[in-house]
A and B are shown apart, each in its own frame.
Chain A
Amino acid sequence: MRGAAAVFSKDLYSELRTRYALNSLIMFVVVTLSIILFSTAGESVSPSLAAGILWIIIFFAAMSGLSRSFVSEEERGTTMTLQLWVKPSSVLLGKLAFNAVLIYVLNILIISAYLLTMQSFRVQTPFIFFVTILLGSFGLASASTFIAAIISKANSKGTLYPVLSFPILLPLLMSVIDATRLSVDGASVFEAFDDFKIMLSYAVVVTTAAIVLFDFVWRD
C-alpha cells in the first residue's frame, strides 16, 4: 500500500510540475466540444442524444489522456526502475488512483463546460447523475489503466488504445449512457438501479481481473 501511495504521489508531482496531461486534455475537450457545438448550432438536440454526446466526449478524452500513465514510463525508460522498487500490484494501484483522480478532475471540467454550452442538457435527477459519474468514471479509469499497461509494450500505441479499450468498455458505456439519459429525463432513482448494479459489478470485476493479471503484463 505504501508503494502504491508512492507511485501515486510520484505521478501527481510530475503532473503538477509539467501539467502536460491536464493541459492537453483541457484543449482536447475544448476542441471536441466546439466541434459538437458548431455542428449542432441551430439544431434542437434531444436530451437523450445530449446524454450520449457527453459520454462520447468523456470516452475519447479518457482515450487520449489515460494511456500516458504507462506509455510515459516506457518512453522515458523508467519501467525497469519501477520494477525493481515496487511490487507490481502497487504500481497498478498507484497508476489507477492517479488516473481515477485525473478523470474525476477532467469530468468536473467537461460536465461544467457541457452544462454551460448545451442548452437541452438539464439534469432532472441529480442523484442518478452523480452516482453515474462516480461509478462510471471509476470503471472507465480501471479498465483503461489496465489496457494502457498492455499497449505500452506494443507498437502503434496511439491507434491501438481505443481499439482495445472500446469492446472492454462497451458494457459500462451502455449502462452509463442509459443512466445519464434517465437522469436527464427525470426518472426516479429506482429506475436506474439496474444500471448502477451493472456499473458497480463492472468496476469490481475489471479491477479484480486487472490486479490478478497485472503481474503477467508488467514482468517480461
Chain B
Amino acid sequence: MKNWMKIGVGIWIAAVVVFGFAMPIGNIPGLGPKARIIFFHVPMSWLAVLAFFMSMWYGISYLRKKEIKYDIKSATAAELGFIFSILATITGSIWAKFNWGSFWNWDPRETSIFVLLLIYGAYFSLRSALENEERRASLSAVYAIVAFVTVPFFVFIMPRIMFSLHPGGEGSSAPIVNANGKMYMDMNMRYVFYASLIGFSVLYVWLFQLRTKISLIAYNNQMENE
C-alpha cells in the first residue's frame, strides 16, 4: 500500500467520523438520531463477516495448494475479523441500550454475532492445540469451512424466521435496510454510509497486509533458526 493511501485513509476515516456526527440525516421514524450508529456499526459487522469469508477462502486455497502463506493469510483474516466482531458487538450493544433499553437481550442478531465470536474463539483454540504446522494449517482451514457453511443459518435464516427487533428484521418498526433489500436512507446519509464502508474496508486491507507481512517474516525467521 502506498504512503499517500495510508495518510489518505486516516484523513478519510476522520472525516467520516466528523460527518457521521454532524451531517443532517433527516428524520427516521422510530430511530431518530440514534440511526447514526449505522455509520460505524454496519461497517464493523460487514468487515467481521468479510474477514470470516476471507479466512475460509484462504483456507480453501491452502487445502488446494498446501502453501503455508495461505494459512498465514487465513489466520490473519480471522484475527482481524475477531477484532471487528468485538467492535460490532460493542457498537451494537451501546445502540441497543438506548433503543431497546438493555445492553444485551438475545435478539437473533445479537445471537448471531455472539456465535461469530464463539467460532473465532474456537478457531484460535484449535490452532493453539495443534503443534505440527501443516496439520494446524489444514485442520483449521477445514474448521473454518465447516463453520462457514453453518453461519448462513444465523445471519440469513434465523433472523428472518424468528422475531427480531433489529432494523431490517421482521418485527422492526424502522426499516433502514429491510428484508427485500430496499434501502430507505436519504442522500446525505447514504454518502456518509458508503464513505464509511469504503474507509473501513481500506483500513482492513491495510491491516491485513501489515499483519500478513509480520507473520511471514516471523515464520521465515523461525524456519532459519531451526
A positions within 8 Å CB-CB of B = 146-147, 150-151, 153-156, 160, 163-164, 166-168, 170-171, 174, 194, 198, 201-202, 205-206, 209-210, 213, 216-217, 220
Contacts and interface: CB of A to CB of B under 8 A. Distances in A.
B51 to A, nearest CB: 16
B146 A153 contact: no
A213 B115 contact: no
Nearest to B63: A216
Contact of A213 (B125, B126, B146): B146
Contacts, number: 80
B147 interface: yes
Contact of A150 (B131, B139, B150, B154): B139
A136 to B, nearest CB: 14
A105 to B, nearest CB: 26
A220 B135 contact: yes
Contacts of B130: 153-155
A170 B119 CA distance: 11
A138 to B, nearest CB: 15
Contacts of B158: 171, 174
13 contacts: A146-B146, A151-B129, A153-B130, A154-B129, A154-B139, A166-B118, A168-B147, A170-B115, A171-B157, A171-B158, A202-B153, A206-B149, A220-B134
Given A167-B147, A201-B153, 14 more contacts: A150-B126, A150-B142, A150-B143, A154-B130, A155-B129, A166-B118, A168-B147, A170-B118, A170-B154, A171-B157, A194-B161, A202-B150, A216-B63, A217-B139
Contacts of A153: 130, 135, 139
Nearest to A202: B153
Contacts of A156: 129
Nearest to B146: A209
A163 B149 CA distance: 18
Given A155-B129, A198-B157, A220-B135, A163 B122 contact: yes
Contact of A154 (B126, B141, B150): B126
B121 interface: yes
Interface in B89-115: 111, 115
A164 B150 CA distance: 13
Contacts of A146: 146
Contact of A209 (B115, B135, B149, B161): B149
A155 B131 contact: yes
Contacts of B126: 150-151, 154, 160, 164
* Interface majority SS (helix, strand, loop, mixed), chain A: helix
Interface of B: 63, 111, 115, 118-119, 121-122, 125-126, 129-131, 134-135, 138-139, 141-143, 145-147, 149-150, 153-154, 157-158, 161
Nearest to A162: B122
Contacts of B161: 194, 198
A194 B147 CA distance: 22
A199 B170 CA distance: 21
B147 A213 contact: no
Contacts of A164: 122, 125-126, 143
Contact of B142 (A198, A205, A216, A220): A216
Contacts of A209: 145-146, 149
Contact of B146 (A163, A166, A206): A206
Contacts of B63: 216
B70 to A, nearest CB: 13
Nearest to B119: A167
Contacts of A174: 111, 158
A171 B154 contact: yes
Contacts of A171: 150, 153-154, 157-158
Given A198-B153, A216-B138, A163 B121 contact: yes
Report which residue of A151, A198, A201, A216 has the largest number of chain B beta carbons within 10 angstroms of its beta carbon: A216
Given A155-B130, A163-B125, A167-B118, A206 B150 contact: yes
The 9 closest A-B pairs by CB, nearest first: A171-B153, A154-B129, A167-B118, A167-B119, A164-B122, A155-B129, A213-B142, A209-B149, A216-B138
